[in-house]
Structure 1
Amino acid sequence: MARPTACRSLKESLVTESALISCVDDDPTVLEALEDLLDALGFQVDGYPSAEEFLSRGRLEATTCLITDVRLGGMSGLELQHRLAAASYNIPIIVISAFADDQTRTRAFNAGAICVLAKPVSRENLINCIRLALHPT
């Protein structure tokens, strides 16, 4: 019985009423897993298979956190970061990658990412990054 309480308090500590997390990943399996996890935690979630689709159809003004893969079919997640910054969107960004080497991490952090996580992403690490995005200290 302690598990539901722990899960409920986790949701309460993370979720704000207007929190929208947008996810960009060209792997449908990863995208669906992210959407399912975030939905289970009580977030509004929008998923996009490409950076281009997020830029053209995403709710940029409403997005409170963006989770993006680095290597996408077209524009990279790092280029997406740069475009958002150039357009003055101050969205906290969590970068995920199967190729999270030191150079990728450095480039992502220099572009303003709040977290860089290696795939497969641990649930706990992702939750900690979301907490940081929504409740910066």
Structure 2
Amino acid sequence: MSHVKSIAIVDDDASVRIATESLVRSLGMKATTFPSAEEYLAALGTQPVDCLITDVQMDGIGGVELSQILRERGDTTPVIFITAFPDDRIRDRVMAAGAIGFLGKPFEGQALIDCIEIALTA
């Protein structure tokens, strides 16, 4: 029996979390949502995560910082960044650090699906 892929979604915007969760579930994958990077870090290790989708700018720990914390811990989970403020400097930084994707909100569902597929085959 094949493992159902598990996607973690970290975004402080509830509407984005709900919409992204619905999209992930429509692909037959498990989606777990977190309103903050801190809550994601607290839950880390309680269940497998095959891909992380995180907002770049959040109160407290932002997505870029979250990604750095995970890498420092040796966590190699593929990361897809989403942001309402697509900035080339941030895009260049996260892509250089190994991000799978960097999508500006609102993004096309297919663009996120493409990033998830890349992440799960990486």
- Please indicate, yes or no, whether the TM-score normalized by the shorter chain is above 0.5: yes
**Structure 1 residues 120-131: aligned runs within 5 Å:** 120-131=106-117
Residue of 83, 86, 89 corresponding to 1:97: 83
Q: Percent identity?
A: 41
Equivalents in 2 of 1:119, 1:68: separation in Å?
Answer: 12
Q: 2:15 aligns to what?
A: 29
Give structure 1 regions of 4+ aligned residues with deviation exceeding 2 angstroms: 58-61
| Conserved? CA contact 1:39–1:45, under 8 Å | yes
Do residues 111 (structure 1) and 97 (structure 2) align?
A: yes
Give the aligned residue type for 2:61.
M
Which residue in the other structure is 1:74 paired with?
60
Q: 1:37 to 1:26 in 2, by over 3 A?
A: same
* Separation in 2, partners of 1:122, 1:60: 31
Residues 78 and 111 in structure 1, CA contact (< 8 A), matched pair in contact too? no
In structure 2, what is the Cα distance between the partners aligned to 1:111 and 1:51? 18
What secondary structure is seen at the aligned counterpart in 2 of 1:99?
coil
Look up the equivalent residue of 1:71 and give its one-letter code. Q
Q: CA deviation at 1:73?
A: 1.3
- The normalised TM-score by structure 2 is 0.93
Normalising by structure 1, we get a TM-score of: 0.84
> By how many angstroms is 1:20 displaced?
0.4
Point out the structure with max Rg over C-alpha: 1
Residue 69 and residue 100 in structure 1: after superposition, are their counterparts in 2 closer, same or farther (change >3 A)? same
Q: What is the alpha-carbon root mean square deviation over aligned residues?
A: 1.4
SS for the counterpart of 1:75 is coil
2:119 is equivalent to residue 133 of structure 1: yes
